[in-house]
Amino acid sequence: MPKNKSRKYYAVRVGRNPGVYDTWDECQREVTGYPRAAFKSFGTVEEAWEFVNVSAPKTVYNFNTENIYPQRTFYQQRSSSIYEDEESDIDDDDEPVIPQRNTSNTVLSDTDIRRFVNKAVELVLNKPISSSSSNSLSTVQSTLPNSIDIHFPPTAVNISLSKDIVENPTRTIQAYTDGSCFNNGSKTKSVVGGIGVHFVNNDLDDISEPYCSFKVTNQRTELAAIKTCLEAVAHIDKFLVIYSDSQYSIKCIQNWIFGWARNNWKTSQGTPVENMDLLKDIIDLIGDRFTAFKKGVQFVHVRGHQSNKGNNTADVLAVAGSRKSLLQ
């Protein structure tokens, strides 16, 4: 892209929410008062993103989350060094293996990894775990559900609203959800995650949060983002449309849960269903919504990392959440 001397793109490598911004005011909000902030202006968006994605100095983050401003212009890059192709053809009959994103090269020490797992266990079990505990993961796994009751029909998650209803903010909430996972699937590097929820019509504040769990994967962060969205709108009597670039999540909710329920929550290969804790929460939230308002949820798959402003915004929110996941 040729440089336009009258146009600048503001890149924030280290700040509250790293990314590329359209105006100095937006950039300034991200870096003012932030420890060791790193930012710079560029004449092209490509140069700006290159600056953002250069390995940054190690920065300390905590679990305190902040709402980020919903009215910003974000520029989303697509780079094979940051994102791998994550979608593949999915068999409706069973859970797929989907290539996952890898969005960071951050490496934590074994001590930090143990602290992260223990913090997740404390949140799940609502009780402290000794820093010397070696059984955190097995302790949580023993508490996971082995079956789920579904209190809504398949039609409740397979609705198709008319365009007029979808685009009427007095009747419908539209939300984009996304999950982020640094070092997804790595056996040698620490894995941390984040979630993002973008509300199209500003029905609620956008959400950017770290994902703290006994197990962090891209699939789990995608499900967690949907769960968080459902929690945020649980009290609102409107139709709900959730846009997600995760075929896995949508297939789970629209199709597979009903077959798994008939099969005692086993896959067609006879193995236990993955991510039962998140699926139970999502199923319960949809069931409560259906019981209270007699309204289902429309799920729409969108292609990830394309020119979809809503999805790109949710992605930025999710990546920002992952960065917040790093412990002090």
Q: What is the pLDDT of residues 47-91, one digit of tens each?
A: 888 787 753 333 222 223 333 223 333 333 333 222 333 333 344
Q: Are 213 and 224 in contact (CB under 8 A)?
A: yes
Sign of the CA dihedral with 250 first, then 253, 255, and 261 last: positive
Q: Which helix (H) or strand (E) holds 89?
A: none
Distance CA 86, CA 256 (A): 20
User: What are the beta bridge partners of residue 260?
Assistant: none
Q: Which helix (H) or strand (E) holds 119?
A: helix 110-125
Q: Are 137 and 120 in contact (CB under 8 A)?
A: no
Q: What is the DSSP string of 257-286?
A: HHHHHHTTSB-TTSPBPTTHHHHHHHHHHH
The one-letter code for the residue type at 48 is A
What average pLDDT does the segment 13-31 reach? 84
pLDDT at residue 115, as a whole number: 56
Q: What is the DSSP string of 173-240?
A: EEEEEEEEEETTT-SSS--EEEEEEEETT-SS--EEEEE--SS--HHHHHHHHHHHHHHHTTT--SEE
Q: List pLDDT tens digits, range 174-233.
A: 999 999 998 877 777 788 899 999 999 988 999 999 998 888 999 999 999 999 999 999
Task: Flag whether pLDDT at 13 surpasses 80.
Answer: yes
Q: At what angle do helices 218-232 and 309-324 cross, to 10 degrees?
A: 110
Q: Are 254 and 299 in contact (CB under 8 A)?
A: yes
Whole-model pTM over 0.75: no
Distance CA 284, CA 304 (A): 27
pLDDT at residue 16, as a whole number: 80
